[in-house]
Amino acid sequence: MITLKSEKQLEGIRASAKILAGLHNQLTLYVKEGLTTGQIDAFCYNYITDNNAVPAFLGYMDYPATACISVNEEVIHGIPGKRVLKEGDIVSIDLGVNLNGYFSDAAQTLIIGSADPEIEKLVSVTKECLAAGIQAAGTGKRISDISRAVFSIADKNGYGVVREYCGHGVGLALHEEPQISNYVSSGSNPRIRPGMVLAIEPMINLGTKNILHMPDGWTVITADRKPSAHWEHSIAVHKDHIEVLTAF
Ligand code: MF3
Ligand code: CO
């Protein structure tokens, strides 16, 4: 079932998303060469709890950290730890905030210093995929219009679009219906209505679309070990516009 949010619920989700946007904004300044992913995770935990909110991923299906931090060939769900960031790395930081039971979810991919131009392009095109997906999420359109918008930009650039993971409804829980794949698939294809809150999240690979799971039970990597980028926003659909709740 897809829940349409009331104005009161939207206010709660908006407040949650504001904290998350503030954290992502701080991360753009904080994340630097020489930091470990564990240090970044601690920064995120402190920011969220200082704002009287709860890290939504921590403990979710026994996930052991605040952030998912995925470096280079890691696609998503990288567990923060001792890995030290170095010049030329790309690092995807995915975070969820639970404020009084209202959930928001957003990710960005940061470049440490400067990276290979081909990799920098992957990061910016993935961000473009997200923007196109958001643009396609207007009232009256269908979920597949989001999928098509994301996929066409990635595909045009020759990138691999991850099939096994997708975007989702969000707001009263971390993951709600509908699923929002980043490619057009058959199956249910709901119409987009005012009151929907959606997390759109392209996961785009420089090479093959295929992925592998690491023995830690969480980390997803590209099958060819080439880099991958991930951007995500939580949005609210209104009658005549789209509100990017986690914009920063
Ligand atoms: N990052 C995922 C999403 O955007 C959720 C992470 S699940 C967790 O939907 F268990 F890793 F937290
Ligand atoms: Co998400």
Contact between 19 and 53 under an 8 Å Cβ cutoff? The reply is: yes
The pTM of this model reads: 0.98
In the reported structure, the alpha carbon of residue 33 is separated from the centroid of ligand 2 by a whole-number distance in angstroms of 26
Residue 203 resides in a domain: yes
pLDDT digits (tens, 9 = 90+) for 171-227: 999 999 999 999 999 989 999 999 999 999 999 999 999 999 999 999 999 999 999
Q: What is the span of the domain harbouring residue 110?
A: 7-244
Report how far residue 171's alpha carbon sits from residue 5's, in angstroms, rounded to the nearest whole number.
8
Closest-lying ligand 1 atom to the alpha carbon of residue 105: 4
Closest-lying ligand 1 atom to the alpha carbon of residue 61: 10
Q: How far is CA 62 from CA 53, 59, 74, 174, 180, in A?
A: 19, 4, 20, 14, 24
Q: Which of 61, 68, 201, 218 to mutate to test the pocket of ligand 1 (most atoms within 8 A of CB)?
A: 68
| CATH, residue 238 | 3.90.230.10
pLDDT digits (tens, 9 = 90+) for 124-151: 999 999 999 999 999 999 999 999 999 9
Q: Which of 165, 174, 197, 220 to mutate to test the pocket of ligand 1 (most atoms within 8 A of CB)?
A: 174
Report how far residue 124's alpha carbon sits from residue 83's, in angstroms, rounded to the nearest whole number.
24
Residue 2 resides in a domain: no
In the reported structure, the alpha carbon of residue 77 is separated from the centroid of ligand 1 by a whole-number distance in angstroms of 7
Residue 65 resides in a domain: yes
Residue 80 resides in a domain: yes
Domain count, the chain: 1
pLDDT of residue 173: 98
Residue 21 resides in a domain: yes
